[in-house]
Structure 1
Amino acid sequence: MMYVVLFFLAFSLLLYVLLAGADFGAGIVELFSSKKNQAITKKTIYRVMGPVWEANHIWIIIMIVILWVAFPAYYNIIVIYLHIPLTLMLLGITLRGVAFVFRHYDAYKDKSQILYDWMFKISSLLTPVFLGITFGALISGKIIHTTTPIDYSFKILYIDSWLHTFSILTGFFFAALCAFLSAVLLIGEASYGDKKIYVKKATIATIVVVLFGFITILYGYISKIQFVIDFVSNLYAMTTILISAILLIPLWSSIRKGRRVLSRLFAGSQVLLILIAALTPHYPSILFTTDGGISILDNVAPDSVIKVLGISLLIGGFVILPGLFHLLKSFKMIKILERH
């Protein structure tokens, strides 16, 4: 059952990056648009994502539950040492949700709409940044895992572990990835006249993602971050990155031509390849502290717990996945089967 649990953990991570990433990215695309294009994007966002946006967060909830139940040692390190960026991320999700609702459904249209608009756009940017910062902190090797926290200051244990250049670069890389996913999604959702707006946005976002990815890896290598050094020297990771680079050619071609299906397939493939390249070389050590990597398979829950969790995930998967697909299809967020 351990493989079932690990599959759902990885699957939930992939879906959260894809779906919630595109959700966050919509606000980023709106933020970096002209006033005219912001109005167009705002209208498109509510038509496409309005009915289903809350469903995207189910995947991070599943991830948290799996870590909490099956891998308590990992869960404790994450929520204890990175509680500040995680709290800021949750605050961003909350503020974004409030702004999302009130700027559209508020009965009174007054100057408060300006506040809601900015709250939505800024929180859409900062939330994925802090999510990326959290991941950057997990792999940076800056976390001091100790049983005697009294020997360290609050700043050293709970701020320096995540507030550094590498994690911040990782945060902006993830935010750029979210903008890229959203722009590609909106290509297939916009009217014919507005499609060129998102074609341009997707092209720019692709370039920004590549630049931030290169800068982040280069900085990590120069700073001798062990995760990055192992990543660069791993044949499988570099092969995966090479495949990702090659796929940029058909990706850009499908974006320029406004191809709904191909652009989404290639965009999703890019995310999948990035996750494979980042996680595979170090598995099962996906968390790095000052003492080195910590295996996710160390200090796991008892076999009886893993068995019950695995069965629950299988049953839940058979219920949730068809229902989620039907929800997205009903509100025409998924148009993968349509030609145009």
Structure 2
Amino acid sequence: MIIAAIIVLALIVYLLTGGADFGGGIWYLFATGERKEAQRRALTQAIAPIWEANHVWLILVIVLLFVCFPSVFAAMMTALHIPLVIMLVGIVLRGSAFAFQSYSAGAQGLERSSARVFAIASVSSPLLLGVCVGAIATGEIRVLENGVVDTNFVSEWLSPFPFAIGALTLVLCAFLAAVYMTVEAPGEALKEDFRRRALWSALATGVCAFVAGLLAIRDAPLIWEGLTGAGWSLLFQLITGLAALLAIGALWTRRYRLARVAAGAQVALIMMGWALAQFPYLIYPDFRILESAAEPAVLRPVLIALAAGSVLLVPSFLYLYAIFKPREAPELAGDEERVNEP
């Protein structure tokens, strides 16, 4: 049970960090206006120092599933291998393209093609991650009595609800990135650009969540019942809604640091609500947490390794962010005056 909670926590941290990096790629693709190139430079400068380190959390999730819940890992990788492989290839191509773009040494053709691959992979990877998360809650991934996964490799994920969760994941990443950039972008004009994007993506988040909720009634009844009928659900949804309203209000009044905290809390609460609604299943309905876990002889050393590793990992990440994420973004020469319209 503890390791399952750590997996959820690692996914939350990955969405708050690596997800925001994906969102930066999304806004790189959709950069517009007279400050288009300045927006892209600001996004590149924000992502560059930390994007590789943020994938540690996804690696942790994969390793913990493989070691501690091997039957779940096998079923997931079998039934969802198409979207998972495309997602992982996208992550690799995204990182490679970002490196080629950064060190193109004036080769404009290479820089343009690398930027295109980086942007497209930044959209496809979080979309497919959300598709996989949605698929495990639909009840379509089943195991036969002999332990073989009953799958045609497509129908488990190629349906409206998983793609609704994929769209929700995509807009959450875009929302986080835009909110973070209101703090990190150099100059008030660029901050204003990202502020408007954050407000629009907050609206898109609400729309996607509403659509996903409607589809869950039919396609993911476990999630629907957990989010609407459990004793904790009403209070939890109220707190999540308050975090969302606080983020929007802080953006509207240009209190960007408060908006960043509220947006992070909102996304973390959404992930926690999903995990609570799916409890006690890792994959509904055949894989409960306790029945799917490895033997105690495996789990105990993993917990010891996690405790020891966190002593090094957590301070290292805090130090990394302290160095490369200063409290005040540097001003760019010639930056435009602050725009005060909502």
User: What is the TM-score with the length of structure 1 in the denominator?
Assistant: 0.90
The answer as to 2:148 corresponding to 1:135 is: no
Q: Which of 230, 235, 257 is matched with 2:231 structurally?
A: 235
Q: Say how many residue pairs are matched.
A: 328
Q: Which of 185, 208, 215 is matched with 2:180 structurally?
A: 185
Identity %: 29
Q: Give the drift of 1:222.
A: 4.2
Q: Which of 7, 10, 31 is matched with 2:8 structurally?
A: 10
Q: Which of 207, 213, 229 is matched with 2:209 structurally?
A: 213
What residue is the counterpart of 1:81 in the other structure?
79
Take 1:30 and 1:173, find their aligned partners in 2: how far apart are those partners? 19
Equivalent residue letter for 1:239: L
Equivalent residue letter for 2:208: F
Q: Are 1:238 and 1:277, in contact at CA under 8 Å, matched by a contact in 2?
A: no
Distance 1:333 1:100, change over 3 A: farther
Q: Give the drift of 1:110.
A: 2.0
Take 2:260 and 2:149, find their aligned partners in 1: how far apart are those partners? 50
Displaced runs of 4+ in structure 1, greater than 4 A? 147-152
Report the aligned-residue RMSD: 2.1
What residue is the counterpart of 2:167 in the other structure?
172
Take 1:224 and 1:22, find their aligned partners in 2: how far apart are those partners? 27
Name structure 1 gaps, 5 residues minimum.
Answer: 336-340
Within 5 A, what are the aligned runs for 1:4-153? 5-34=3-32, 36-146=34-144
What residue is the counterpart of 1:338 in the other structure?
none
Q: Are 1:12 and 1:60, in contact at CA under 8 Å, matched by a contact in 2?
A: yes
Q: Which of 157, 178, 182 is matched with 1:162 structurally?
A: 157
Distance 1:223 1:48, change over 3 A: closer
Take 1:247 and 1:151, find their aligned partners in 2: how far apart are those partners? 40
Take 2:78 and 2:326, find their aligned partners in 1: how far apart are those partners? 37
Q: Give the drift of 1:303.
A: 1.2
Distance 1:277 1:150, change over 3 A: closer
Q: Are 2:222 and 2:278, in contact at CA under 8 Å, matched by a contact in 1?
A: no
Q: Are 1:237 and 1:276, in contact at CA under 8 Å, matched by a contact in 2?
A: no
Q: Give the drift of 1:148.
A: 6.2
Distance 1:224 1:198, change over 3 A: closer
Q: Are 1:20 and 1:57, in contact at CA under 8 Å, matched by a contact in 2?
A: yes
Equivalent residue letter for 1:162: W
> Residues 34-76 of structure 1, C-alpha deviation per residue, up to 9 Å, x if partnerless?
1544412221122222011100100011111111111112111
Name structure 2 gaps, 5 residues minimum.
Answer: 329-342
Q: Are 1:31 and 1:38, in contact at CA under 8 Å, matched by a contact in 2?
A: no
Take 2:126 and 2:31, find their aligned partners in 1: how far apart are those partners? 19
